[in-house]
A and B are shown apart, each in its own frame.
Chain A
């Protein structure tokens, strides 16, 4: 930082001190101003930004300690230096406890003052740089790829936002491919632990002995092949988040070990006897029905309750069909930019196929289908022929299978039969006219024919 970029405010009731410090700092090239008491100092603080404030401890009215507290309330990153005529250890300690950068006794040796200001400028530079870097990290952090406007997904995101700021243990439940890890990352990136790592471990992917050493780490010589000490994932997740994927697939012994670690946040490395502390938040995920596993005796009930403090259920894609077009377009633009292809839409037939498909593999399956289509596509639109579904399912009845879909389909059918006559339709369906109106509003059935007018 150049001197002219640094603002120094001097607060002292003695004019001679103010003037001599003003002179001293001005000749160093700093931007300098003075105030003779606390109130005018606070006013100057509102008018201009200041990096370093030197303040006298003894002033009429509000004293330096109180003024410092107020300054810290306004901007805790302003570097404050307390000056006083008397070396009083008590006030010095108080000032430092309240966040003063340093404490000097009048008169000061010129060299000490020069070093003090140099250090204060350095501290301020680091603080400012730190704030800027944090902002840059926030900007660089990839935006969450949680796409969905359906009420179900909105509810999920509300839950994510409310649980993220707490340190609660979260369990994410959902079918394979619904984006459980994405939700775990979304929670982590919104939490206070976001500057620390999120460590993912897929519990289903390791044989038992290996999972143990993955989680806890091992000392040199703990087993054949352990030729050096290795940190486990628990240690790596210190101050961050530990994401245990497929938690339903771990052995009973691991369940017991894990329970102890989650409760105490202490463990020992394999082959070691030193206790290691790690501070992490646990987020787990499974596609298994753990309550059933508990009844069958394959999952410990106490661990289940430990992990399931707050649970988020991710709906399968087929239960949030309104998100399909949104998600499909999102994936399309994502692959278009990563593959550098000028593809910007789906043909109407292709769009219809995506909407009708059952998506047993959920979002992951859709991602694969669209990625594949992007590879084979020619032209600017993805055609029906470009789409290839791994599990072709018979197209479900138009509009889906839920009770709501069936109801909507029936109302449309009868309204077509009665050519939009609501009174007749109500008669046939054996409900009141008001019910028909309400249902039409619910299912947005106003297309072109204005039933209101027709009825009159």
Chain B
């Protein structure tokens, strides 16, 4: 039996995790586990930029995966970057096992707005499904409502839904995957 692991990494606020776990279980129809792994954020810190290199965190995540892990999603609250970009919301291995997502830029307070927990949670759900989607082999989708639509700023995240569109769900690369028997909800598609 394989699981999608949700791995909080030096996370101050764990209160989002329960909802996140339920949502991921529901979306991908996989069993899930919340488990801490031995990952040190300090090793990925870039003092010059004052940010954490997401690729270095990802490297640690995939270094020694638990044997029953189908996919691993790291969750952090520090600001992430990849060397060429000013920041990223998260990063994933395309068709790989590992992914990481950060709540840092999902908070309204980051943009000088009053904090709204509901909004932050919804953004975290979307970005988590998005990054995990990459590990299932999905590339960015041109459908503006699909969760696999690329988000380069936070309003982008708000514009898309939490769902994987039918076309993308057909492309999910996993053994015995059938979006229809797995009980996908396509309620708003085609409306």
Would you give the shortest CB distance from A2 to chain B, in whole angstroms? Answer: 9
B64 at interface by CB-CB < 8 Å: no
Query: In the bound complex, do residue A28 and residue B139 qualify as a contact, i.e. CB atoms below 8 Å apart?
Result: yes
Distance of A397 Cα from B174 Cα, bound (Å)? 91
Chain A residues, Cβ within 8 Å of B109: none
Contact of A107 among B84, B91, B150, B153 (CB under 8 A): B84
The A-B contact count (CB < 8 A) is 65
Q: Return chain A residues, CB-CB under 8 Å to B117.
A: none
Task: Check: A196 CB closer than 8 A to any chain B CB.
Answer: no
How far is it, in angstroms, between the C-alpha of A24 and the C-alpha of B140 when the chains are bound?
A: 10
Complex CA distance for A14 and B82, rounded to whole angstroms? 12
List residues of chain B with CB within 8 A of the CB of A27: 92, 94, 134, 139-140, 150
**Pick the contact of A20 from B49, B84, B139, B140 — CB < 8 Å?**
B84
With A and B bound together, what is the CA distance between A21 and B88 in angstroms? 12
Do residues A110 and B94 form an inter-chain contact, with CB atoms below 8 A? no
A1-37, CB < 8 A from B: 3, 14, 16-17, 19-21, 23-24, 26-29
Choose one: A16, A17, A110, A114; the contact of B87 (CB below 8 Å): A110
Is B176 among interface residues, defined by CB-CB distance under 8 A? Answer: no
Which of chain A's residues 73-100 have a Cβ closer than 8 Å to chain B?
A: 83
The smallest beta-carbon distance between B42 and chain A, in angstroms, is 18
Known: A3-B139, A107-B84, A110-B87. A28 touches B150 (CB 8 A): yes
Could you say which interface size class chain A belongs to? 20 to 34
Q: How many B residues are at the interface, by size bracket?
A: 20 to 34
Residue among B55, B86, B88 with most chain A CB within 10 A: B86
Q: In the complex, are the beta carbons of B83 and A107 less than 8 A apart?
A: yes
- The verdict on A106 contacting chain B, using a C-beta distance below 8 Å, is yes
Q: Taking the complex as formed, is A113 at the interface, i.e. its CB lies under 8 A from any CB of chain B?
A: yes
Inter-subunit contact A114/B152 (CB<8 Å): yes
Whether A108 sits at the interface, judged by CB under 8 Å, is: yes
Q: Does A111 contact B (CB under 8 A)?
A: yes
Q: List chain A residues, Cβ under 8 A from B1.
A: none
Contacts of A447 in B (CB 8 A): none
**29 A/B residue pairs, CB under 8 Å, sorted by A:** A16-B55, A16-B83, A16-B84, A20-B55, A20-B82, A20-B83, A21-B84, A23-B55, A23-B82, A23-B91, A24-B84, A26-B94, A27-B92, A28-B150, A83-B84, A106-B84, A107-B81, A107-B83, A108-B84, A108-B85, A108-B86, A109-B86, A109-B152, A110-B86, A110-B87, A110-B153, A113-B84, A114-B150, A114-B152
The list of the 7 closest CB pairs from A to B, nearest first, reads A20-B82, A111-B152, A29-B139, A16-B83, A110-B152, A114-B152, A20-B84
